[in-house]
Structure formats: C-alpha cells, structure tokens
C-alpha cells in the first residue's frame, strides 16, 4: 500500500437537513445530505424539479441557514454570502440598468480604476462579449446575457462558483454552445463549480461527478463519476452508458 494523499475537501457539506415551516406543518426539503467537493472539481447536482436543489445551493452559498448540519469551505463554516464564492443565476440576474462593462465591474468596487478597467476588459473578452462593452442587457440575446453573468462572477476572482440551472432558459442550441463555453472558461480559470441541473445530458457533458438527488425530501441517491476525458464525444459508448445509468437512477425509462 502506498501513501494515501489526502486532499482536503474544498467544500464539505455535512449532514444538512432543511425544513421550512408552512401554514400548518413543516415541509422537509433536505434530509441529511453530505457531500465533499474537491478543489477544482465540477460537480453536477442532478434531480427532479422541486426536490430541493436550489435550497441546497442556497445553503452552501450562505444565503439560507440549514435547520441542522453545516457547510465548510476551506475548513471554515459558512455563515453568509462571500465574494469568494459567487452565485450565477439564469440570465435574468444581470443588472439591466448597467452596461456590459458596468455589470462585469459591479463587484470590483474595492479596486482602483486602472485595475478595474483591466479586469473588465479581460473578462469581457474571455466570455466573448468584445464589442458590446457599452451595450445594455436588453440589447443582448439570452446567451449573451448568460455570458455576461458568468463574466460578472469571474471578475471578482472567486474560487467557487454556484450555478443554478444557468442555461435553463436558453434554446437548446445556445445551451450546447454555453456548455462548451463553460468548459473552455473552466480550463482558463480553475474554479470549483457546483452546477445544479435537472437535465441528464447536461450533467454528463459537464461534470466530473454527478450527484443524483431523490425527490423531496432530497437525499443523495447515488454519485456517478463521469470518467470521460474532454472534449467528450456525445455518441461514444461510454457517454451513452453513463447517461443510461443516470436515466435509470432518476427512474425514467430511456425510450419514448
């Protein structure tokens, strides 16, 4: 036996449970969820709508306090939101009153003007919005707004990104383009990414590991390692096999 190198987890979710009080009773949304995410890993959280994926992500991001359990990032308990970890919403999260530059520079208010301008230029270019610096979001397409939101998040140089069904509102072609863009950006900027989706294909295309959630109250049913090197061939037998495993796990027959 060789020496086992223990890489400390970047994000460590420990026995999280979440109950929301309702009018008469409480509804249980998360039930003892535990998960370790390694530094630089891209983990997809896959589950049916309404199972509690957003709730989980909001707890990990520090926007909601869990009923029991805790989240550690770099070994420190999460007590609230932090610019070192940024939440990316569907493209509706960009600020419509700011230009592309204004949005990308939104989180850079602590920097001097020169450094801010430099960062803005860098990230505008990285997400492919050069030439649109002074455009307002309503002048952009859905895919461009989504890129803008990603650029706004990356500009503050966070080490963790939370993406909550970020491409859900885009058409299927734009969605495919955005996925490969995300993978390209991830090669350029190493980030730990928690990506919530209810799209099985999306999870197999993107993830290092797919965490399959049950219906509410959400528990982790299974964690599937996606051992296909990038760029991934969507018609390779391994891709189809992994996809089938996930379809099976979600409880869907993969025939129509």
Partner 1 sequence: MPTRSDVERFLLPLGTAAVAVGVWALAVRLSHTNVFPSPLKVLAGLKELAGKGVLWRYVADSLRRVATGYLLALFLGVPAGLAFGWMPRLASAFNPVIQMARPISPLAWMPLAILWFGVSEAAPAFLIFLGAFFPIVVASMNGVRSVPAMYLQAGRNFGLGAPRLLARVVFPAALPQILVGLRIALGIAWLVVVAAEMIAVDSGLGYLIIDSRNAGKRYDLVVAGMLLIGVIGLLLDILVRQLEKLKTVRWGFQQESA
Q: How far is CA 122 from CA 2, 45, 104, 108, 232, in A?
A: 43, 30, 10, 13, 27
Q: Give least dist CB 186 to ligand ADP, A.
A: 23
- Footprint of ligand ADP on residues 43-62 (CB under 6 A)? 47, 49-55
- Footprint of ligand ADP on residues 185-244 (CB under 6 A)? 216
Tell me if residue 110 falls in helix, strand or coil: coil
Question: Of 54 and 203, which CB lies nearer to partner 1 in the complex structure?
Answer: 54
x/- track of binding to partner 1 for residues 150-169 (CB under 8 A): ------x-------------
x/- track of binding to partner 1 for residues 51-70 (CB under 8 A): ----------x-x-------
Q: Residues touching ligand ADP: how many (CB under 6 A)?
A: 12
CA atoms of 45 and 245, how far apart (whole Å): 15
Closest CA to 33 of 162, 221, 225, 164: 221
Question: Of 2 and 97, which CB lies nearer to partner 1 in the complex structure?
Answer: 97
Closest CA to 94 of 130, 136, 156, 155: 136
Q: Residues touching partner 1: how many (CB under 8 A)?
A: 21
Tell me if residue 77 falls in helix, strand or coil: strand
Closest CA to 175 of 139, 138, 143: 143
**Residues near 254 by beta carbon (within 8 Å), at least 6 away in sequence:** 243, 244, 247, 248
36, 64 in Cβ contact below 8 A?
Answer: no
48, 198 in Cβ contact below 8 A?
Answer: yes
Q: Give least dist CB 113 to partner 1, A.
A: 16
33 lines the binding site for ligand ADP (CB under 6 A):
no
Question: Of 137 and 143, which CB lies nearer to partner 1 in the complex structure?
Answer: 137
Structure tokens at 58: 């909001």
Residue from 22, 138, 172, 235 that binds partner 1 (CB under 8 A)? 138
Tell me if residue 144 falls in helix, strand or coil: helix
Q: Give least dist CB 153 to partner 1, A.
A: 9
107 lines the binding site for partner 1 (CB under 8 A):
yes
Q: Give least dist CB 239 to Mg ion, A.
A: 26
Q: Give least dist CB 201 to ligand ADP, A.
A: 18
| 109 binds, options ligand ADP, Mg ion, partner 1, none, Cβ within 5 to 8 A by partner type | partner 1
CA atoms of 250 and 154, how far apart (whole Å): 32
DSSP codes, 224-245: EE---PSSP-TTSHHHHHHHHH
Residue from 7, 8, 15, 20 that binds ligand ADP (CB under 6 A)? 20
Q: Give least dist CB 165 to partner 1, A.
A: 13
Characterize the bridge pairing of strands 209-213 and 11-21: unpaired
Question: Of 52 and 137, which CB lies nearer to partner 1 in the complex structure?
Answer: 137
95 lines the binding site for partner 1 (CB under 8 A):
yes
């Amino acid at each position: 036996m060789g020496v086992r190198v223990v890489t400390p987890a970047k994000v460590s979710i420990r026995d999280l449970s979440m109950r929301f009080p309702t009018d008469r009773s409480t509804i249980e949304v998360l039930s003892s969820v535990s998960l370790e995410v390694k530094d630089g890993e891209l983990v997809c959280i896959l589950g049916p709508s309404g199972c509690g994926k957003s709730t989980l992500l909001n707890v990990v991001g520090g926007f909601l306090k869990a009923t029991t359990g805790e989240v550690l990032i770099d070994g420190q308990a999460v007590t609230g939101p932090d610019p070192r970890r940024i939440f990316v919403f569907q493209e509706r999260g960009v600020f419509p009153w700011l230009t592309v530059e204004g949005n990308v520079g939104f989180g850079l208010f602590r920097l001097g003007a020169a450094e801010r301008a430099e960062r803005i230029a860098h990230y505008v270019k990285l997400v492919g919005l050069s030439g649109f610096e002074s455009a307002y979001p309503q002048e952009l397409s859905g895919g461009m707004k989504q890129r803008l939101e990603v650029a706004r998040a990356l500009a503050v140089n966070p080490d963790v990104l939370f993406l909550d069904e970020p491409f859900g509102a885009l058409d299927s072609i734009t969605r495919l383009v955005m996925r490969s863009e995300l993978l390209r950006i991830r090669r350029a900027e190493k980030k730990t990414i928690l990506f919530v989706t209810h799209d099985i294909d999306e999870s197999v295309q993107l993830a290092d590991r797919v965490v399959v959630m049950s219906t509410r109250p959400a528990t982790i049913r299974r964690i599937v390692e996606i051992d296909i090197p990038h760029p991934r061939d969507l018609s390779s037998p391994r891709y189809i096999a992994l996809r089938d495993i996930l379809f099976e796990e979600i409880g869907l027959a993969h025939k129509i």
